[in-house]
Amino acid sequence: MDTVIQFTPAQLIALASAIVVISTACGVIVNIINKAREPEKKQDDRIKALEDRADKFDGIIEKFQGYFDNDDKRLKAIDEGNKITQQGLLALLKHALNGNDTQALKIAEKNLEEYLINK
């Protein structure tokens, strides 16, 4: 136990050189691993950016889909109103031509009343 460990200068230089070689080798291995992972990291970043962009567009699409649904409802209401108006005009035209078609006028009046009440 009382043995003293002594190093010669050549041994110290060899030990220091071994440490430098091992640390350099580790650094080279880390660089190789990082370079090997770099394309994957770039691809992951690109995919993440595209997903964020797609999520943004999903929100915009939902917003405009609401607009389209609202416009569709309004256009259907306009079509229904046009249909009732045209039926009324047709009944008036028939009455004006022959003067006896009061039944068509009553039906057109009833349809128009129902449409205006329900609207």
Task: Tell me the per-residue pLDDT of 7-51, one tens digit each, with 9 for 90 and over.
Answer: 788 988 999 999 999 999 999 999 999 999 898 989 999 999 999
Task: Tell me the per-residue pLDDT of 100-113, one tens digit each, with 9 for 90 and over.
Answer: 777 777 888 888 88
AA letter at 112: L
**pTM of the predicted model over 0.75:** no
- Residues 58, 35: Cα–Cα separation, whole Å: 35
8 A C-beta contact, residue 80 and residue 115: yes
Task: Give 75's Cβ-side CA count (13 Å radius).
Answer: 6
What is the residue-averaged pLDDT of the chain?
88
- Residues 23, 76: Cα–Cα separation, whole Å: 77
- Predicted confidence at residue 118, as pLDDT, reads 79
Which DSSP letter does residue 4 get?
P
- Predicted confidence at residue 1, as pLDDT, reads 59
